[in-house]
Amino acid sequence: MNGQPYENDKLTAIIRLESLLPNLSRFVFSAQSGQASAVGWNGRGEGRIEVTRENHSVRFFESGTFTLDGQTRSVPMRNVYRWDIHPDRIALSHERRGVEDAVSLFDLVVENDDTLVSAEVHQCAADAYSARLTLTEDGIDLAWRIVGPRKDERILYHYRSR
Q: Along the 162 residues of the chain, how does pLDDT read in single tens digits? A: 444 444 545 568 999 999 999 999 999 999 998 888 888 889 999 999 999 999 999 999 999 999 999 999 999 999 999 999 999 999 999 997 888 888 888 899 999 999 999 998 878 888 899 999 999 989 999 999 989 898 889 999 999 996
Distance set, CA 84 to CA 46, 107, 108 (Å): 24, 9, 10
CATH superfamily ID and name for 7-161: Calycin beta-barrel core domain (2.40.128.20)
- How do the domains of the chain map onto residue ranges? 7-161
Verdict on whether the full-model pTM lies above 0.85: yes
Per DSSP, helices labelled H in the chain are: 12-20
Whether residue 32 contacts residue 43, with contact meaning beta carbons closer than 8 Å, is answered with no
